[in-house]
Amino acid sequence: MRVLIVEDDEALRESLASSLRERGFAVDVAGNAAEGEYFATEFAVTLAIIDLGLPDRSGTELITTLRRDGRDFPILILTARARWQDKVEGLNAGADDYVVKPFNLDELIARINALLRRSAGYAQATLHCGAVALDTRAEEVKVDDRTVNLTAYEYRILEMLMLRVGQVITKIELTDQLYEQDFERDSNVLEVLIARLRKKLDPDKSLHIIETVRGRGYRIPNREEQTDLS
């Protein structure tokens, strides 16, 4: 999950970025609209958090530009203006939700999770896939009602796979969405993470939740499809 933060206040930007990194997101930061537009164009951004009061251009304008250029990732507005007229303006420009400063970090994360889930087409807060239930609101994973303790990275990997159930997600894409720099790419960090995740979800290796598609990547097969076939 690659999140782009466009915010001109450095203290807020960095604190927000480090909080999101702790939660397992890959984060790109931009201090103005031009930089933000560059990142949004050059990288596979999953979600953008945009401050409305940017120094070079208003956040609303940036959002309008991004939408016009066909970028359809969810956009969350960060604003100090709490008036409805401002909110409506931002949402009309193409944003999906707004958070008024000062915000509660947990609330922001909850909004981000909800946006990611909605943009993947899920209306419910909890994603189900066979025995696995992923509660995006509480960031909690259960397998057959047993709570599984996952690290932030493990959670994000599982979330990504569950949001796109049935689809293969390549290693490169997964790494891209987890790390900001290229240097992790060649290492086997991802393999290690997946192995740990499998172990935690499925200690006795009976469920086969995550499949490896040789030479391509990983996927969580669509359980309903399987039941239909059998």
Partner 1 sequence: MAVRRWSLSANLLVMMTVVLIIAFAATLFILDAIFRVTSEAAIKDLLEVQVLALISVAEPGPRGGLIFPEQLPESRLSSMESGLFAEILDGRGARIWRSPSATGVTLAQGLSVRPGERLYQRRILADGREVLVFGMGLRWELTSRVSRVYQIFVGEDLAAYERELNRLRRQLMGWFGGVILSLLVGIGLLLRWGLAPLRRMADEISAIESGDRETLSENYPRELDGVARNMNALVKSERQRMTRFRTTMDDLAHSLKTPLAVLRAEIGKQAPDTKILRDQMGRMQGVIDYQLRRAAAAGPRTFAASPVSIAPICTELAGSLRKIYRDKDVQCDIRVPGSMRYPAEQGDLYELVGNLLDNAWKWCDGRITVDASIRTSAKKSVPDEFVFTVSDDGPGVPDADSKAMLDRGNRAEPRGDVPGQGIGLAIVAEIADLYHGSVSIERSEMGGAKLELRLPL
Nearer of residues 84 and 183 to partner 1, judged by Cβ: 84
Q: Alpha-carbon distance 129 to 110, whole Å? A: 21
- The total number of residues shown for the chain amounts to 230
* Footprint on this chain of partner 1 (rule: CB under 8 A): 82-85, 87-88, 91-92, 96-98, 100, 102, 114, 118, 123-125
Q: Smallest distance from the beta carbon of 11 to partner 1, in angstroms?
A: 16
What is each CA distance from 186 to 52, 69, 157, in whole angstroms?
38, 32, 18
Q: Smallest distance from the beta carbon of 159 to partner 1, in angstroms?
A: 17
Q: Smallest distance from the beta carbon of 170 to partner 1, in angstroms?
A: 29
Q: Smallest distance from the beta carbon of 124 to partner 1, in angstroms?
A: 8
Nearer of residues 33 and 77 to partner 1, judged by Cβ: 77
Q: Smallest distance from the beta carbon of 152 to partner 1, in angstroms?
A: 22
Q: Alpha-carbon distance 37 to 30, whole Å? A: 9
Q: Smallest distance from the beta carbon of 33 to partner 1, in angstroms?
A: 22
